[in-house]
Every structure is written in C-alpha cells, then in structure tokens.
Amino acid sequence: MNELQKEIVRLKAEKNAIILGHNYQRLEVQEVSDFLGDSYGLSVQASKTKADVIVFCGVDFMAESAKILNPEKVVLHPNLNSRCPMAGMVDAKSLRELKAEHPGAPVVSYVNTSAEVKAESDICCTSANAVKIVQSLPDRKVIFVPDTNLGLFVKRYVKNKELIFWPGYCPTHVAITKERLMAVKKEHPNAEILVHPECTPDVIDYADFAFSTEGIIKHVMGSPKKEFIIGTEENMIHRLKKEAPSKTYYAVPGATCPNMREISLENVRDSLTKAQFKIEIPEDIIRRAKIPLERMISAGR
C-alpha cells in the first residue's frame, strides 16, 4: 500500500467508516475497499453494515441506494461527477406518464435509476436477478425501465410476459460490438467470451455467457477454462486477477466507463477528512424508494 492508501485505512478506522467499491473501480480504489461487488452485493452489504459512515465508490445511483437503505447513516460519495448516464435516461415524470398508459402494470426498475424513479416503482432488480424478479410477478404485462438491452435479455427467459420497455441503454456496453469481440476471439481462439446483460442481443448471442459482474467472477472461479474475453468494463480484470490469478483475461478495446473511473484515492481521502459529499434524499422519496429496493434484496440473486 502507498502512503495515501495507508492514510485512508487509518481514517476509516478513526471514523468507523466502511468503503464499498464496485467491481469497475480503479485498482488503487479497489485496494482500499472493504467490500467489492456488483450492484446486488453492494446493496446487501449496505443494508447490513454496522459502520457509522459508508463511503461509496461507485456511480451516483449506487450511493443513493446505500442512503435509501440506511437513512440514519452518513453516506458519502467521493466524487459527484461519477454518474451513470443510463440512470439519467429516465425521470419520475416520464415514468408516471408511462404508468398512466398501462394502468395496473407493475414497474420493475433496474437499480441504475434515480431515487425518484425507484419511488415510482414496484420492485427493483439488478442484472444478477432481473430474470428472477420479472418471473416472480403474477402480472402478464410488466413495465421494465430503463435498460432495453437488459429487458430483452430478460425476455429470453420469460416468454409468457409482455414487457413494456424504455429506450435507455448503457453507452459502455453498447460499444462492445460483435465485431470487436470477434477480433479479440480471432487472436485468442481458445478463450471463452463472457459479457454483461447490458450488451446488445447480437453480442449476447455471440458470447458464451452473460452474467452480472459478480456472476462473471463466480463463473471464472468455477470454470476449468484458462482464458477469458471479458465483455464488460476493463477494470473488472483487476478483480479477476486477484480472485483467479492463474487464468488469463483479454479486454475488449474501448470497454471503459469513464463515469466509474472518476473516483480517485485523493477523492476518497478528502471524502473521509471533510465528510464530503453527503448524499441527501428527501424523506418522502426515501420512504417510497426503500420498498422496491428491499423487495429486490429479499428476492435474492
């Protein structure tokens, strides 16, 4: 650990703080995190931590979810520029209009949404449990926001349902094209292709498997294969090298999420010393958004 990382570890203990880090964080930030995971795993950790302060190293909606689950705790987001563009593609007003067009249809919102959108939803999901959540609903017609590609992935497994989509997408994952994957595969023909369900349907068809980020790690750890093409944010490879160091990983050119990479060690240190930037959400929104988030957590992976 470098001096800055040691200072962060000391500050964490002094403030009784925990650092939750997403699998896409920079390596040096991953190294000071107490828990690394996908959106589902991080929500679970946030819901059960005994720490007084949560420093969330991930994009805005992840820090907001931690606050919704822990309204009494201080939740800090070290860099407010770390925002998920997909979460910004749907707002509460537009969702209310969509709901009015489909009376009675429940709303499943991907956790990549604002607190206000969650407050308008019946249940949340992550990429780790989207199929299970949609399947669990008794209704035939379901509104699914905002990621159309994740929705189309779900649709493969729930043929009996009518899904109403929203035109949202992840700029990072749509840039992982089939052509780019084919070029990497040509160089490494024995490598298995693993992608994220936010990828487009043709990419998912071409890949060997599609999983959430933590699902990719679990799959690699349990697989007899030795080489993998990682069709998601390249920083995932740090985690994979740590968990399964004897295997080889190939990134897809251009697979980066600049928003996830905004948070630096300096930001984390300043977050702890200056208690910045505190996530504040109106009480009424927290009360309503907590219901779909807690439903999602109790549904499991």
Task: Give the footprint of ligand SF4 on this chain (CB under 6 A).
Answer: 59, 84-86, 112, 170-173, 198, 233, 257, 259-260
Residue closest to 251 by CA, chosen among 235, 275, 274: 235
User: Which residue intervals of 211-277 are DSSP H helices?
Assistant: 213-222, 236-243, 265-274
Residue with tokens 């819901």: 47
Partner from ligand SF4, ligand 13P, none binding residue 126, C-beta < 5-8 Å depending on class: ligand 13P
Verify binding: residue 213, ligand 13P, rule CB under 6 A.
Answer: yes
Our CB check for ligand 13P shows the closer of 87 and 286 to be 87
Our CB check for ligand 13P shows the closer of 69 and 272 to be 69
Decide the pairing of beta strands 162-165 and 141-145: parallel
Partner from ligand 13P, ligand SF4, none binding residue 71, C-beta < 5-8 Å depending on class: none
Verify binding: residue 176, ligand 13P, rule CB under 6 A.
Answer: no
Residue closest to 49 by CA, chosen among 26, 25, 61, 65: 65
**E strands present in 81-233:** 107-110, 123-125, 141-145, 162-165, 192-195, 209-210, 227-231
By CB under 6 A, the residues from 132 to 161 that bind ligand 13P are none
Partner from ligand SF4, ligand 13P, none binding residue 85, C-beta < 5-8 Å depending on class: ligand SF4
Our CB check for ligand 13P shows the closer of 60 and 99 to be 60
Our CB check for ligand 13P shows the closer of 45 and 212 to be 212
Our CB check for ligand SF4 shows the closer of 53 and 95 to be 95
DSSP, collapsed to helix, strand or coil, labels residue 167 as coil
With CB under 6 A as the contact rule, the residue among 65, 127, 149, 259 that binds ligand 13P is 127
Min dist. Cβ of residue 109 to ligand SF4 (A): 13
CA separation, residue 259 to residues 57, 87, 171 (Å): 11, 12, 11
Partner from ligand 13P, ligand SF4, none binding residue 200, C-beta < 5-8 Å depending on class: none
Verify binding: residue 113, ligand 13P, rule CB under 6 A.
Answer: no
With CB under 6 A as the contact rule, the residue among 18, 19, 23, 289 that binds ligand 13P is 23
Our CB check for ligand SF4 shows the closer of 128 and 272 to be 128
Q: Compute the radius of gyration of the chain from its Cα atoms.
A: 19
Are the CB atoms for 56 and 75 separated by under 8 Å? yes
Min dist. Cβ of residue 237 to ligand 13P (A): 14
CA separation, residue 262 to residues 12, 154, 270 (Å): 21, 30, 14
By CB under 6 A, the residues from 32 to 51 that bind ligand 13P are 38-39
CA separation, residue 300 to residues 10, 64, 109, 152, 158 (Å): 34, 20, 16, 21, 18
Partner from ligand 13P, ligand SF4, none binding residue 212, C-beta < 5-8 Å depending on class: ligand 13P
**The pair of three-digit structure tokens given for residue 37, joined into one six-digit string:** 């995971």
Min dist. Cβ of residue 30 to ligand 13P (A): 13
Min dist. Cβ of residue 13 to ligand SF4 (A): 29
Residue 238 CA, chain-centre distance (Å), reads: 17
d(CA 296, CA 40): 9
Q: Identify any residues that bridge with 54 across adjacent strands, giving them in sequence order.
A: 18, 75
Interface residues with ligand 13P (CB under 6 A) are 23, 38-39, 112, 126-127, 170, 196, 198, 212-213
